[in-house]
């Protein structure tokens, strides 16, 4: 069973083999060691068999023991070129309707609805290249930026990266599937930025 891990920055070069891996499968590159280092009992230690270094893994699979005061590394949102999932404007009942999003803005509601093609995709979406034909001039609501998320969804700018990543994952999963190459590429891009 694979578990996703969030990592802090390594404190020594010797930890690099452990930190480079985003997920671990039990019994592959290392093993869970019994707890013998004075940390609370709900924690486990991952020992890398190559060099013996250990990292604390919290009960929710977050690495937290690389150093005191260090912040956990978090993904930073970025667009995954060639995806286009956000250009599917008629997403269905599991997403907020345009009327809910633009409740106080009839002009943008009208503009949004005018962009929806007969197949539910934006009329400016080029399906052959998976690009936007008006990208530089696209409407503000097509932009994934902190101020847009705050205005449309009430998201505090401090939470922008988390919310944008989550929103994109949900949209990509809904459009292309949870095992799609598009979702894999999006997740890869987040951690490689």
Q: Is the pLDDT reported for residue 83 higher than 70?
A: yes
Within a 13 Å sphere around the CA of 94, how many CA atoms are in the beta-carbon half? Answer: 8
pLDDT of residue 47: 36
- State residue 67's pLDDT score: 54
Q: Which residues neighbour 96 within 8 Å (Cβ) at sequence distance 6 or greater?
A: none
| pLDDT tens profile 46-55 | 333 333 333 3
In the predicted structure, residue 7 carries a pLDDT above the cut 80: no
* Burial (CB count <10 Å: 0-12, 13-18, 19+), residue 141: middle
How many Cβ atoms are within 10 Å of 160's Cβ, its own excluded?
19
182 has a pLDDT exceeding 90? yes
Give the side-chain half-sphere CA count within 13 A for 2. Answer: 4
Report the predicted TM-score, pTM, of the whole model to 2 decimal places.
0.60
Q: Where are the domains of the chain?
A: 3-57, 85-191
């Amino acid at each position: 069973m694979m578990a996703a891990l969030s990592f802090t920055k390594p404190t020594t070069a010797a930890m690099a083999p452990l930190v480079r891996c985003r997920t671990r499968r039990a019994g592959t590159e290392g093993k869970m060691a019994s707890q013998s280092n004075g940390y609370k009992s709900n924690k486990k230690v991952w020992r890398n068999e190559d060099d013996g270094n250990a990292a604390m893994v919290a009960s929710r699979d977050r690495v937290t023991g690389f150093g005191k005061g260090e912040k956990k590394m978090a993904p930073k949102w970025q667009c995954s070129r060639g995806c286009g999932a956000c250009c599917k404007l008629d997403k269905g009942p599991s997403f907020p309707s345009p009327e809910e999003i633009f409740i106080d803005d009839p002009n943008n509601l009208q503009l949004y609805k005018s962009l929806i093609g007969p197949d539910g995709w934006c009329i400016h979406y080029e399906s052959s290249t998976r690009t936007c034909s008006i990208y530089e001039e696209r409407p503000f609501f097509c932009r994934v930026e902190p101020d847009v998320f705050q205005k449309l969804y009430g998201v505090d700018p401090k939470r922008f990266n988390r919310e944008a990543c989550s929103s994109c994952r949900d949209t990509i999963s809904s459009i292309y599937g949870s095992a799609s190459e598009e979702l894999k590429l999006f997740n890869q891009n987040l951690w490689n930025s």
